[in-house]
Amino acid sequence: MSAPVLTITLNPAIDQTVILPQLCAGSVNLAESSQCAAGGKGINVAACLADLGIPVAAGGFLGKRNEDLFRELFNLKGIDDHFVRLDGNTRTNLKLVNRTREETTDINLPGFPVPREAIRRLYDSIGSLAQSGHLVALCGSLPADLDAGVWAQLVAAFKARRCTVLLDTSGEALKRALAMPPHDLPDIIKPNLSELEEWAGTALPNTASLLAVARELCQTGVDLVAVSLGEEGALLVRGDEVLHARLAASRVASTVGAGDAMVAGLLAARRAGLDLAASARRAVAAAVGKLARLGPHLPDAATLAALEQRVQIRALR
């Protein structure tokens, strides 16, 4: 498949990552370093896909006043830029990295207002990039003033064009998208455990309960449910096949963007026509590779290939 993968980010952010020796609430904390990077789930996915050598286009909304970091990233990675520029500043999200405990605290700020008509402008600008057989990834949260059903509407619109659609979102937006008729459901979803629990409306304390929910989603019409489990890897469910994939990270610079790297790995695997086991290896290797780097970047191809070989795969019933 030669067409670029299309990623869409409606609520992007400038990620300011602050490295701290330790984080003490209610106290003055002295940082070791800080860096800013263009961020947002779909943008991170696009950057990782570009690092994998896959042509990628990215669309969504950006504020006109502080777009420089995004333009620099798109130029650096060779990402085809189809973002609609709106008045205002793209929001900044703070990522406080506690180096001692290898933990990240996220402080996500609200985005700028997005008028309803801007969705049509965006869809018009990217329509030619989403044709039959193309891969489309809809990623992240929605600006506060947009209806929670926007992702569901976009999934349906791209499915009508016979695209393969991956959705990575949470909360009410995920509920609305998964309540659509079977032909309008996303082909792939990648919730983490807490997001899946929120959708299910109950705790999922063990593998059996997690599998039951994932299988339920597959039965409704979702082709692949990939649940990211942090240090425990990922659970992939497709039809009757269930795999648990895990690889311990040897170094963690930041957990920011690891889930987005996993999405990029899933998309790369789908584009290459890989089976479920190979898809699991690629997705988990990308996530673990991302853990060792700050910013939306993956290691080189040789490093990723070595990580893939080390991923432990276990079939579940």
> From the CB of residue 161, how many other CB atoms can be counted at a distance below 10 Å?
14
Catalytic pick from 87, 223, 260, 275?
260
Q: For the chain, give the mean pLDDT.
A: 93
Going by C-alpha positions, the residue among 126, 22, 23, 109 that lies closest to residue 66 is: 109
Each residue's pLDDT tens digit, 262-290 = 999 999 999 999 999 999 999 999 999 99
Q: In this model, does residue 69 exceed pLDDT 70?
A: yes
Q: In this model, does residue 1 exceed pLDDT 60?
A: no
Domain boundaries defined on the chain: 5-316
Going by C-alpha positions, the residue among 203, 202, 278 that lies closest to residue 236 is: 278
68 given a catalytic annotation: no
Q: How many Cα atoms sit within 13 Å of 291 on the Cβ side? A: 22
Of the two residues 7 and 123, the one the predictor is more confident about is: 7
Class of domain 5-316: alpha beta
Mean pLDDT value across residues 117-142: 88
124 torsion bin: left (phi>0), alpha (psi -120 to 50), beta (else): alpha
